[in-house]
Amino acid sequence: MNLMELPNEILDMIITYLEPEEISNTCQVNKRLYHLVHKNSRIRRFPIKKLELLDVKEHVCIHIWTDVMRHGNKECATFCKTTHHSQLFHFIYLFKVHSLVIDGRSNKLRNALKSIPTWWLDSVKILNIKETQCDLDMLNFMRRLRNCPEVSIDPHYTINYISDVLLEMNSLKHLGLKNARTVLFDDNTLDVLVSLSNRSDTGLKSIEVSDAVTSITTNKLIEFLSTAKFAANCTMKFEGLDLEENELLKFLEEQGSLKASAADNYKFTLGDREITLSVGRKTDSSDSLSYNE
């Protein structure tokens, strides 16, 4: 029997047992299989460390980092491919991506990202959206990346309230929010972070919020420190906070956990967790920590 005489349901099952190289070769010569593969979330894919999508005039540059074996040793190799925006998924569908970087300069990339099916995004565990002029709809995009626990976002003028984005996530280990002058980060955001951290296997590893519209009260920050789940070593940086320092110091001293403090910088322990917290203004590199006896 000719393989192509089989119904789509049977071909779909066969496809899931093919190696990525076999899928690639088959799709090049058979359009029917090509369309079936693009809709099959169970296909075997090449594991990729990092994939960066960068607008280059009328094209999109696909930059790939992956592990290769050379002379018996594992090394990192990089590859680069440039294609039209409309052909983006055609070149990446066989990749199982761990870290996804998006650097958009035009709305053509935004439209190309919409064409990527949700099943392809399920493997992404680190998302980094760089400074961009691409009008990416972050809320809808994060709905398709609910299982990605590490997110870094540079300026995004389509975001007004970072909590709306976080509510689309299942858990969180890292949050980076840079140069986001139109984005609100407030007490409600800390409540969302508590919930996300407690659903994470390791807890929060790092938070960096700079140049956002921060509106966090001292009491809420103390509540956050008391109830959130943190990784063994956690670093947090919040710029532009107007805190009651004495209240924060009192809380840390009552916990018996304060190790060191300087202007707007604190090192302390919560249980067996080591926490470094930076708040308020940017500190000069010459600031030194004063250690408690």
CATH of the domain at 75: 3.30.420
Predicted local distance difference test score (pLDDT) of residue 115 = 86
In whole numbers, what is the pLDDT of the chain averaged over residues? 82
101 and 49 inside one domain: yes
Does 15 map to a domain?
yes
| Structural domain range at position 119 | 45-136
- Token pair, residue 214, equals 């921060």
Predicted local distance difference test score (pLDDT) of residue 169 = 94
Does 290 map to a domain?
no
125 and 49 inside one domain: yes
Predicted local distance difference test score (pLDDT) of residue 289 = 42
Predicted local distance difference test score (pLDDT) of residue 33 = 73
Does 53 map to a domain?
yes
Which among 251, 269, 270 has a CA at the least distance from the CA of 260?
A: 269
Does 128 map to a domain?
yes
Q: What is the DSSP letter of 5?
A: G
Which among 64, 42, 44 has a CA at the least distance from the CA of 53?
A: 64
Does 19 map to a domain?
yes
81 and 39 inside one domain: no
118 and 78 inside one domain: yes
Does 37 map to a domain?
yes
Residues of the chain predicted below pLDDT 50: 282-293
Does 262 map to a domain?
no
CA distances from 287 to 26, 241, 261, 269, 283 (A): 62, 19, 10, 21, 7
Does 121 map to a domain?
yes
Predicted local distance difference test score (pLDDT) of residue 136 = 75
Report helix, strand or coil for 17: coil
How many domains does the chain fold into?
2
Model pTM score: 0.82
